[in-house]
C-alpha cells in the first residue's frame, strides 16, 4: 500500500538481471521452475504505464482467485481490469483454453488413468467452473488409457431423469473396456447426495450387464473432488 509521499517501486522486466527474467528462466530451467505469476507474465508480455508485468500477472490472479477463477471469468470482467484490455485478455483466454484442451484431448499420447487424482487433473479446472450440473463419461481401453470424454447430461441430476442406457451408448459404440463417470456440484461442495449414490448403483449394475466395468464415479466441486469408489458408495 502506498503511504502519503511514498511511491512504491516495481522494476520493469528489462530492469531485472537477465537471469531473473521469466523468459530466460524458462529457457534455462524449464516451465516447471516458474511460478504461476511468471508463466502468466510471459503470456501478457508487457505491463502498462511502466508496471512490471509480473506485478500485473499477480494482480490478475489475486483479483480472480487464481487460475480457476480466471478461467471462469468472462472476457469483459478480465479486460476491465487496469492494465489489461482486449488484446491481453484474448491472449490469456486463449492460453487457458489451450491448456484445457491439452488435458482432455491428446490423440498421440492418450492420458492413462491410474487413480481418481488422474481424473481430477483432467477435469477439475473446467468442471469446477461450471454453473450447472453436467455428467461426463471417460471411455477407457484395456490399459486404462482415455479414448475420449463425452458430456452425456446437462441439468440437475436425478435418478428419475437420467437414462442409464444413454450413458453406455457411446461406450458400446467405442467398444471400450471401462468407463469413469464424473459430474460436478455447482455449489462447490463435492459431498455425495443420496441421489448420487443411487445413480452410481444403477450405473454399476448396468455396466455389469453390458460387460463394461465402471471404475469410479467422481464428484467435482470447487478445487475439490470426491471418489465414490474410494468411499465405497454405490460400489459393492
Q: DSSP for 40-94?
A: HHHHH---STT--HHHHHHHHHHHHTSHHHHHHS-HHHHHTSTT--HHHHHHHHH
Looking at residue 92, what is its pLDDT? 92
Number of domains in the chain: 2
Is residue 6 in a domain? no
Residue range 165-171: mean pLDDT, rounded:
83
Domain that holds residue 23: 13-104
pLDDT in tens, 94-104: 988 887 776 66
Is residue 170 in a domain? yes
Looking at residue 1, what is its pLDDT? 44
Looking at residue 19, what is its pLDDT? 59
| 30-51 as b/e: b if 16+ CB within 10 A | eeeebeebbbbbbebeebeeee
> In this structure, what CATH number is given to the domain that contains residue 163?
3.40.140.10
Residue with the bigger pLDDT between 111 and 3: it is: 111
Cβ(144)–Cβ(112) under 8 Å? yes
Looking at residue 54, what is its pLDDT? 85
The answer to whether residues 65 and 124 belong to one domain is no
The answer to whether residues 140 and 222 belong to one domain is yes
Cβ(89)–Cβ(79) under 8 Å? yes
pLDDT above 70 covers a percentage of the chain that reads: 83
pLDDT above 90 for 10: no
Strand partners, 184: 220
Instruction: Give the pLDDT band (50/70/90) at residue 180.
Output: very high
Domain boundary residue, one of 70, 104, 138: 104
Residue with the bigger pLDDT between 148 and 230: it is: 230
Is residue 49 in a domain? yes
The answer to whether residues 220 and 124 belong to one domain is yes
Burial label, 138 (beta-carbon count in 10 A; 0-12, 13-18, 19+)? buried
The answer to whether residues 195 and 147 belong to one domain is yes
Highest mean pLDDT (candidates 45-54, 156-165, 188-197):
188-197
Nearest partner of 143 among 171, 102, 110, 166, judged by Cα: 110
The model's pTM: 0.58
Domain boundary residue, one of 80, 104, 128: 104
Instruction: Give the pLDDT band (50/70/90) at residue 161.
Output: low
Mean pLDDT of the chain: 82
Nearest partner of 60 among 89, 31, 87, 90, judged by Cα: 89
pLDDT above 90 for 192: yes
Q: Give me the residue label for grid cell 469410479.
A: 216
The answer to whether residues 133 and 89 belong to one domain is no
> In this structure, what CATH number is given to the domain that contains residue 35?
1.10.150.20
Domain boundary residue, one of 104, 130, 147: 104
Burial label, 3 (beta-carbon count in 10 A; 0-12, 13-18, 19+)? exposed
pLDDT above 60 for 11: no
Cβ count within 10 A of residue 5: 5
Looking at residue 15, what is its pLDDT? 57
Instruction: Give the pLDDT band (50/70/90) at residue 124.
Output: confident
The three-class DSSP label of residue 27 is: helix
Residue range 145-166: mean pLDDT, rounded:
74
pLDDT above 80 for 9: no
The answer to whether residues 121 and 214 belong to one domain is yes
Is residue 208 in a domain? yes
Sign of CA dihedral 156, 116, 165, 106: positive
The answer to whether residues 74 and 139 belong to one domain is no
The answer to whether residues 182 and 142 belong to one domain is yes
Amino acid at each position: 500500500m502506498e503511504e502519503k509521499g511514498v511511491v512504491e517501486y516495481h522494476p520493469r522486466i528489462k530492469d531485472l538481471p537477465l537471469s531473473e527474467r521469466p523468459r530466460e528462466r524458462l529457457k534455462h530451467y524449464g516451465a516447471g521452475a516458474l511460478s504461476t505469476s511468471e508463466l502468466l507474465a510471459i503470456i501478457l508480455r508487457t505491463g502498462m504505464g511502466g508496471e512490471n508485468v509480473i506485478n500485473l500477472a499477480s494482480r490478475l490472479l489475486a483479483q480472480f482467485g487464481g487460475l480457476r477463477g480466471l478461467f471462469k471469468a468472462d472476457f469483459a470482467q478480465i479486460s476491465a481490469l487496469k492494465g489489461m484490455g482486449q488484446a491481453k485478455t484474448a491472449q490469456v483466454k486463449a492460453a487457458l483454453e489451450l491448456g484445457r484442451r491439452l488435458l482432455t484431448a491428446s490423440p498421440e499420447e492418450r492420458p492413462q488413468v491410474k487413480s481418481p487424482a488422474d481424473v481430477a487433473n483432467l477435469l477439475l479446472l473446467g468442471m469446477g467452473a461450471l454453473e450447472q450440473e453436467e455428467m461426463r463419461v471417460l471411455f477407457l481401453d484395456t490399459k486404462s488409457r482415455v479414448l475420449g470424454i463425452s458430456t452425456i447430461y446437462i441439468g440437475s441430476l436425478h435418478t428419475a431423469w437420467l437414462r442409464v442406457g444413454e450413458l453406455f451408448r457411446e461406450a458400446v459404440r467405442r467398444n471400450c473396456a471401462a468407463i469413469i463417470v464424473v459430474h460436478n456440484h455447482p455449489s462447490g461442495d463435492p459431498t455425495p447426495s443420496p441421489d448420487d449414490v443411487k445413480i452410481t448403483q444403477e450405473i454399476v449394475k448396468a455396466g455389469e450387464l453390458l460387460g463394461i466395468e465402471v471404475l469410479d464415479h467422481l464428484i467435482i466441486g470447487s478445487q475439490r473432488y470426491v471418489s465414490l469408489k474410494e468411499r465405497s458408495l454405490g460400489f459393492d
